């Protein structure tokens, strides 16, 4: 059984930040990808900037001025997990889950978002450790309606925090859960009897409630070993969960054994600006780490694509396809996470772009898979 883990938290502040928050404006250069006068094909960058925005958020730290305090990382005491060669897997089985405790449940989206997505922090006491990119299984209470007399089936959720958790002590895990609601196709009215069991259980839970967790599971979405690698992260909706974890590891935590010096580029597709998830965190990284982070959003109900239609995440990728293809050729890892339905549109776009460039997509795709650059977790 996993040993209880602990870590101490401290934090430091560097004075001064002249980086201003902005979204991607484009790359310069032809044979290599250049951004802010740095090459991304061959020369990894060192982190210089540090971030305080999220510290304020997490610790409610009183800061006199963000401008003054500027760049801060949370210094964590490394967990034993940092030394492991393999991620923890299936420490708790579905039939013998760990009983954890809900710490926090918060609505993440604004009033104009279609549907509800919640940020759920779970205290596992350090007993169910995980790596970034893994998932937990949640066994909702009650009987399986399809097999009365047997417990509900497990549902998987990507973990949205680093191994240190939002508490930075290795004892919590965060989930980003969209409430599954059923609308009768004929009446258009919600039918609560058919709402999703586990997502509603999680979004309705309160601090102190118990939750049965299994896992952790999954190896597809782990971060590459090389901390100077390029990470292209494509998400729709809650698919952003593992990327929130990656980005916190890259830009929020100061872990002596993991110094990110690469490029992380997030493409996030949601319905509208009220549906953006963790936008404050991502925007603060843009401000503090402009050389290492790019962030592009596709808001289908607000943005138009080049043909005047709704802007989906694949349209945003297409906008930057030249850079994306060059980065992939240079060894970038590309991750896809979110609803299953996102993949056909993305694949079709990548294939079309490849053909326009005179490349064979099927060959390129099998090369990316063979090189372990291609990571897909859709549901
Ligand atoms: P269920 O009870 O399983 O119902 C499924 C759907 O069927 C719902 O939409 C429900 O409204 C509908 N339904 C129920 N009864 C009927 C009926 N009689 N007729 C017609 N329709 C009906 N989800 C997230 O929100 N965040 C994540 O980070 C996340 N990560 C995942 C990672 C992985 C690897 C996988 C595989 C899945 C992930 N999911 C994630 C999806 C999650 O596991 C669940 O599938 C999702 O929350 C729905 O589960 P539920 O129990 O709420 O719905």
Q: Could you read off the pLDDT of 87-130 as tens digits, one per residue? A: 999 999 999 999 999 999 999 999 999 999 999 999 999 999 99
**Please, what is the Cα angle at 281 between 302 and 101, to 5 degrees?**
110
pLDDT at residue number 72: 84
pLDDT at residue number 71: 66
Measured N-to-C along each axis, helices 361-370 and 342-356 cross at an angle, to the nearest 10 degrees, of 120
Percent share of the chain, pLDDT over 70: 81
Tell me if 340 CB under 6 Å of ligand 1. no
Residue in 278, 137, 109 with CA at minimum distance from that of residue 211: 137
> 4-18, 250-264, 345-359 — which is least confidently predicted?
4-18
Integer Cα distance of 142 and 32 in angstroms: 56
pLDDT at residue number 4: 40
pLDDT at residue number 202: 98
pLDDT of 17 > 50? The answer is no
- Which ligand 1 atom sits closest to the C-alpha of 177? 25
pLDDT at residue number 315: 97
pLDDT of 343 > 50? The answer is yes
Instruction: Give the pLDDT confidence of 38-87 residue by residue, as tens digits.
Output: 554 433 333 333 343 433 333 332 222 233 335 689 999 999 999 999 99
Pick the residue whose CA is nearest to atom 50 on ligand 1. Answer: 196
In this prediction, residues 326-348 reach a mean pLDDT of 97
- Among residues 10, 183, 356, 379, the one annotated as catalytic is 379
- Among residues 92, 98, 130, 157, the one annotated as catalytic is 157
For residue 95, the Cα-to-chain-centroid distance in whole angstroms is 28
- Spatial neighbors of 275 by CB under 8 A, at least 6 apart, are 109, 110, 113, 114, 115, 117, 237, 299
Integer Cα distance of 84 and 72 in angstroms: 27
**Please, what is the Cα angle at 278 between 71 and 53, to 5 degrees?**
20
- Whether 98 is catalytic: no
- Among residues 135, 158, 167, 199, the one annotated as catalytic is 158
- Whether 379 is catalytic: yes
In this prediction, residues 128-137 reach a mean pLDDT of 98
Tell me if 154 CB under 6 Å of ligand 1. no
- Rounded mean pLDDT of the chain? 86
Q: Residues for the chain: how many in total? A: 379
% helix / strand / coil in the chain, to the nearest 5? Answer: 25, 30, 45
pLDDT of 23 > 80? The answer is no
pLDDT of 273 > 80? The answer is yes
- Whether 158 is catalytic: yes
Distance 155 CA to ligand 1 centre (A): 7
Do residues 223 and 247 make contact, with C-beta atoms less than 8 angstroms apart? no
């Amino acid at each position: 059984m996993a040993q209880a883990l602990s870590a101490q938290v401290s934090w430091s502040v560097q004075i001064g930040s002249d980086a201003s928050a902005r979204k991607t404006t484009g790359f310069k250069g032809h044979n290599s990808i250049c951004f802010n006068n740095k090459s991304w094909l061959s020369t990894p960058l060192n982190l210089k900037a540090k971030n305080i925005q999220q510290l304020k958020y997490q610790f409610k730290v009183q800061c006199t001025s963000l401008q003054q305090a500027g760049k801060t990382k949370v210094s964590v005491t490394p967990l034993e997990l940092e030394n492991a060669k393999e991620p923890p897997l299936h420490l708790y089985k579905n039939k013998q889950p760990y009983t954890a405790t809900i710490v926090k449940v918060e609505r993440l989206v604004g009033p104009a978002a279609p549907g509800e997505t919640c940020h759920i922090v779970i205290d596992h006491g350090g007993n169910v450790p995980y790596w970034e990119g893994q998932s937990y299984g949640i066994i909702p209470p009650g009987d399986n309606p399809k097999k009365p007399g047997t417990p509900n089936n497990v549902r998987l959720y990507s973990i949205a925090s680093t191994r240190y958790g939002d508490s930075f002590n290795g004892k919590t895990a965060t989930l980003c859960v969209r409430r599954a609601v059923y609308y009768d196709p004929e009446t258009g009215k919600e039918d609560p009897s058919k709402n999703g069991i586990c997502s509603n259980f999680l979004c309705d839970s309160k601090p102190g409630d118990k939750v049965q967790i299994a896992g952790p599971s999954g190896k597809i979405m782990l971060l590459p070993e090389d901390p100077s690698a390029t990470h292209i992260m494509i998400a729709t909706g809650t698919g952003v969960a593992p990327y929130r974890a990656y980005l916190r590891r890259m830009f929020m935590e100061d872990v002596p054994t993991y110094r990110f010096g690469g490029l992380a580029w997030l493409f996030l597709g949601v319905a509208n600006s009220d549906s953006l998830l963790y936008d404050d965190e991502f925007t603060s990284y843009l401000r503090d780490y402009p050389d290492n982070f790019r962030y592009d959003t596709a808001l289908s109900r607000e943005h138009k694509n080049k043909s005047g239609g709704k802007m989906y995440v694949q349209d945003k990728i297409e906008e930057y396809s030249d850079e994306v293809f060059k980065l992939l050729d240079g060894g970038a890892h590309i991750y896809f996470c979110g609803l299953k339905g996102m993949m056909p549109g993305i694949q079709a776009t990548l294939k079309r772009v490849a053909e326009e460039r005179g490349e064979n997509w099927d060959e390129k795709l099998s090369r990316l898979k063979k090189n372990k650059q291609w990571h897909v977790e859709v549901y």
